[in-house]
Structure 1
């Protein structure tokens, strides 16, 4: 469900996006409201995960400048070969979940190549129903709808191929070191930088719709990080020397994601396995795989040619797993 922020909130965000101080008097004038109303609007930004400073004689400013998403800036960054693959681009100020929204649009016959970005998610989700912390304008939250004609089986290994696409885009934007943790986590130095969530609906042996959700941490405020229950990082920590342009990164991600999706049904996972293995941050690591609450400790031996995780048990046996949750037994390199 789309949950629009108010026009006054949006205007206020645009005025404060530069990260500089703005006096209450000037904000009141530009917004056409009282100074008391400005104070209430500024205080309400905390509900979006945004925090501010208020200094007597200076006014208000956000703790960090915002670069708001702009459809034309994203489209301008698309490769000519990719542009025809984009059927529709939607930018939402606030939404419950980009994946939930696009799943609903898929049922309403939205075309392949429909893309949804959100500045803020009120109910963002990761795998197994976990909450995805989503402060306003700080990170990237997007979903892509694609349609496959040959049923669920034709999507096998898709999450790995999508992972390859994401790493390509991040490296293009000079963000490194980054790698992949089976089956769908974007990692840096053993901490989670982002995640992929793929949901499939339709016929098992006929046309099906796939919604690919992606969240990338660019800057996670300390206040928002309190809700994260695993080791995490963001782009500002991975490489403090660069300042990522959100619109450029959004375009780079779409360039890679749409190209992979357009080819995947023909080439399958095998076309991406070697590259995925080069990004694998679990290879050779001591780890524990959890299926439900059942732990399987061992040494990760990469993935097989179908994209299944290979785990060597303590007795030396190697077993392939199609699903599960992997936890490092020690801090990875």
Structure 2
């Protein structure tokens, strides 16, 4: 654990700590404490300094904790979790697990980070990832089949996330095809599924979830679309570690069943949460923009849209969907 992170764990309680006390706890000089505090500010965290009282974070932080995450996972799903990696900082949790997959890591390996420096969503979009505020979580899963046989996997993942929100008492969110959780106020979460392997199998899938838990105002200014977080939606404070454990629990449960029975068993549940069906939409294709009205999904998970009065079918890899007023 780096000295900066050790200092941050002390400050995470949101209380004042004198420079002298911090130096004594860490075994460093007050000048070194100040140097690390500047570095923490450089991570986007608001460190307050008050003469005669010391230093504190403007808002307490709940840092990732393996024991608390594991405690939120049921025993049967815990048995399917091969490894749990917690990182202070990564470029991307998905990139980390893609590398671990190439190294032979077992399916059921999970990875979380306090901060991502190169977080991304679908089609290479940047995912804003401030330190210690939201969830950046990826799960590696191995399948005996090839990638082409895993159609609609991201939709099944969306069902898992909706189950997690329900278990956490969060209401008002729904699904935007193929892999976003949204509500009236804006985007709550996104899913990025990346596959690798032989066309005939086996293959691996790295399932990345970015979930806004408590977005800092400064970080929010870098987001180029409406957004919302759990803090605004929930009627009670939610633990990041509990949320992480609940998501891992429901993801693993859904993946086990998806591997056995495919997408069909999740279609009705996905349709119950579909916020796009019946809405006017724009479809951004590589070489065109089409306007139409969404009419749900077919049994393979493809989007159905009426374009100029004609039914059209779109797969998730080829199109970006936007709802219009």
* TM-score, structure 2 as length reference: 0.96
Q: How many residues align?
A: 323
Report runs of 4+ in structure 1 exceeding 4 Å deviation: none
Aligned counterpart in structure 1 of residue 259 of structure 2, from 255, 265, 272: 265
Deviation sequence 1:66-114 (CA, Å, 0-9, x none): 1111112211221121121111111111111110010011111111101
Residue 28 of structure 1 and its aligned partner are, at CA, apart by: 2.2
SS in 2 for 1:272: helix
Give me the whole-angstrom Cα distance separating, in 1, the residues matched to 2:287 and 2:39: 40
Q: Where does structure 2 lack aligned partners over 5 or more consecutive residues?
A: none
Alignment of 1:1-333 (within 5 A): 7-239=2-234, 241-292=235-286, 294-313=288-307, 315-323=308-316, 324-330=319-325
After TM superposition, the structure 1 stretch with the greater mean CA deviation from structure 2, 48-57 or 270-279, is 48-57
After TM superposition, the structure 1 stretch with the greater mean CA deviation from structure 2, 189-198 or 161-170, is 189-198
SS in 2 for 1:19: coil
- Report if the CA contact (8 A) 1:154-1:265 is conserved: no
Indicate the residue corresponding to 1:3 in structure 2.
none
Give me the whole-angstrom Cα distance separating, in 2, the residues matched to 1:85 and 1:67: 26
* TM-score, structure 1 as length reference: 0.93
Give me the whole-angstrom Cα distance separating, in 2, the residues matched to 1:63 and 1:307: 44
Give me the whole-angstrom Cα distance separating, in 2, the residues matched to 1:8 and 1:290: 47
Give me the whole-angstrom Cα distance separating, in 2, the residues matched to 1:124 and 1:254: 19
Aligned residues: CA RMSD: 1.4
- Report if the CA contact (8 A) 1:287-1:299 is conserved: yes
Q: Where does structure 1 lack aligned partners over 5 or more consecutive residues?
A: 1-5
Give me the whole-angstrom Cα distance separating, in 1, the residues matched to 2:301 and 2:6: 47
Residue 127 of structure 1 and its aligned partner are, at CA, apart by: 1.0
SS in 2 for 1:252: helix
